């Protein structure tokens, strides 16, 4: 029972993170591409809960930032000009993916002041907003690539295990080929032979394809093992005697046996593929500007002065840790549960 509760809590964590990213438009105060050239590398905005006279206010306020004369990227707050933070305000229009258009944002500030919860980048774009929008690309590519990889792996593994013989040999030998390569090298090599200069949407699809295609070997081996033993079970044999076709047997009786293993594999693969997307985009081989992804946001850190001077540019990297951690814990909880089941 304790195991179940842990799984539920972890699922809630993962779900919350994904939902936050899904509702990026609502949660973020600005558009991901909105630039503020007057405020490059502005530090995270401080929220003031006291006004000028020192009295406590429940509504935090934000003060105007003024660049110090002749000092690039160094700012002072103008305490005379403070503006209250407002909730549920109308701002730039956004679209929830697949749903509807809206202008309602969770919070925002009126007047000339800006609220940058995590500072801005070199073009004065709000990192908090970009982090949420970038999560859409990074997390979605992890999910889709996992679906692709498990889809290929499960179908090839089932076919190999079911038919056996030369089909099995071909599938398993080619799987070994993919396992014999260090997978990041393989990913790079595959990416190398595909066009370099493409628009972000194409790059996104390409990336999913490449990442998904590289990782099919391990799930296919696992599925094959289950199918090999599963096809000898009595109810499968009975279904075959009654004249069930191969396709029917595989779909109705063999694949369902592999679901728990596929689920565990998914929790292992998703964080790995999110990191793969981040890595490729970090090196400029993935999704490019102006679309944000956690990888290409981190790419700014390749410049040493950014790395050393502006700590808030690390935000996408730090955001990866809770995501990967909750998936890892979920995977180990599921594995423990699976081990209990088998006993």
Partner 1 sequence: MRYFGHRVLQSIFLLIGVSLLSFAFVDLAPGNFFDEMRLNPQISRETVANLQRQYGMERAFPIRYVRWLKSVARGEFGFSFAYNAPVAPLLWSRARNTLLLTGSASLLAWLFALPLGILNAAKSRGWIDCAGGLVTSVLLATPDLLLALGLLWLALRTHWLPVGGILLPESAGRSEWQRLKGIGVHSAGPVLALVIGSLPTLTRHIRTAMIEGLDSPCARAVRAHGIPRWRIVLRHALPVAASPLISLFGLSLGSLLSASLLTEVVMSWPGLGPLLFEAILARDLYVVIGAVMFASLFLIGGMLLGDVLLFVADPRIRTERLA
* Residues of the shown chain interacting with partner 1 in the complex, contacts defined by CB under 8 A: 173-174, 176-177, 180-186, 188-196, 271, 275, 278-279, 282-283, 285, 298, 301-302, 304, 307-308, 314, 317-318, 320-322, 324-325, 328-329
Q: Which is nearer to partner 1, 66 or 177 (CB)?
A: 177
Q: State the nearest-atom distance from the C-beta of 194 to partner 1, in Å.
A: 6
Q: Which is nearer to partner 1, 96 or 170 (CB)?
A: 170
Q: State the nearest-atom distance from the C-beta of 39 to partner 1, in Å.
A: 24
Q: State the nearest-atom distance from the C-beta of 171 to partner 1, in Å.
A: 13
What are the Cα distances from residue 1, in Å, to 4, 7, 109, 264? 5, 10, 47, 19
Residue partners of 115: CB distance under 8 A and separation at least 6: 29, 45, 62, 85, 107, 108, 109
Q: Which is nearer to partner 1, 24 or 331 (CB)?
A: 331
Q: State the nearest-atom distance from the C-beta of 267 to partner 1, in Å.
A: 13
Q: Which is nearer to partner 1, 115 or 186 (CB)?
A: 186
Maximum Cα interatomic distance, the chain, rounded to a whole number of Å: 87
Q: State the nearest-atom distance from the C-beta of 198 to partner 1, in Å.
A: 11
Q: State the nearest-atom distance from the C-beta of 110 to partner 1, in Å.
A: 37
Q: Which is nearer to partner 1, 29 or 175 (CB)?
A: 175
Q: Which is nearer to partner 1, 85 or 313 (CB)?
A: 313
Q: State the nearest-atom distance from the C-beta of 119 to partner 1, in Å.
A: 17
Q: Which is nearer to partner 1, 19 or 325 (CB)?
A: 325
Q: State the nearest-atom distance from the C-beta of 179 to partner 1, in Å.
A: 9
Q: Which is nearer to partner 1, 87 or 304 (CB)?
A: 304
Q: Which of 291, 296, 269, 285 is nearest to 191 (CA)?
A: 285
């Amino acid at each position: 029972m304790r195991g179940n509760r842990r799984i539920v809590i972890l699922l809630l964590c993962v779900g919350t993170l994904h939902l936050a990213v899904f509702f990026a438009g609502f949660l973020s105060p600005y558009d991901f591409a909105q630039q503020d050239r007057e405020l490059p590398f502005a530090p995270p905005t401080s929220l003031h809960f006291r006004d000028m006279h020192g009295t406590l206010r429940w509504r935090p306020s934000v003060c105007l930032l003024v660049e110090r004369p002749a000092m690039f990227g160094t700012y002072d707050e103008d305490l005379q000009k403070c503006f209250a933070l407002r909730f549920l305000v109308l701002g730039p229009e956004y679209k929830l993916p697949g749903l509807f258009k809206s202008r309602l944002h969770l919070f925002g500030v009126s007047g000339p002041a800006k609220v940058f919860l995590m500072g801005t980048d070199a073009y004065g774009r709000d990192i908090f907003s970009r982090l949420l929008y970038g999560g859409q690309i990074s997390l979605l590519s992890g999910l889709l690539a996992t679906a692709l990889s498990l889809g290929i792996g499960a179908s090839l593994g089932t076919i190999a295990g079911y038919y056996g013989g030369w089909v099995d040999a071909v599938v398993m030998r080619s799987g070994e080929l993919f396992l014999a390569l260090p997978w990041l090298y393989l990913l790079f090599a595959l990416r190398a032979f595909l066009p370099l200069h493409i628009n972000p949407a194409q790059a996104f699809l390409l990336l999913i394809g490449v990442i998904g295609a590289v990782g099919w070997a391990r799930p296919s081996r696992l599925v094959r093992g289950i199918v090999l033993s599963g096809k000898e079970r009595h109810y499968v044999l009975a279904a075959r005697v009654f004249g069930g076709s191969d396709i029917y047997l595989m779909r109705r009786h063999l694949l369902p046996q592999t679901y728990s293993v596929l689920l565990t594999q998914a929790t292992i693969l998703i964080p790995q593929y999110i990191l793969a997307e981040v890595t490729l985009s970090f090196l400029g081989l993935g999704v490019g500007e102006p679309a944000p992804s956690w990888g290409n946001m981190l790419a700014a850190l390749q410049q040493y002065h950014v790395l050393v001077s502006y700590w808030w540019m690390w935000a996408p990297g730090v955001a990866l840790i809770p995501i990967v951690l909750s998936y890892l814990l979920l995977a180990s909880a599921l594995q423990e549960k699976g081990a209990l089941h088998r006993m």
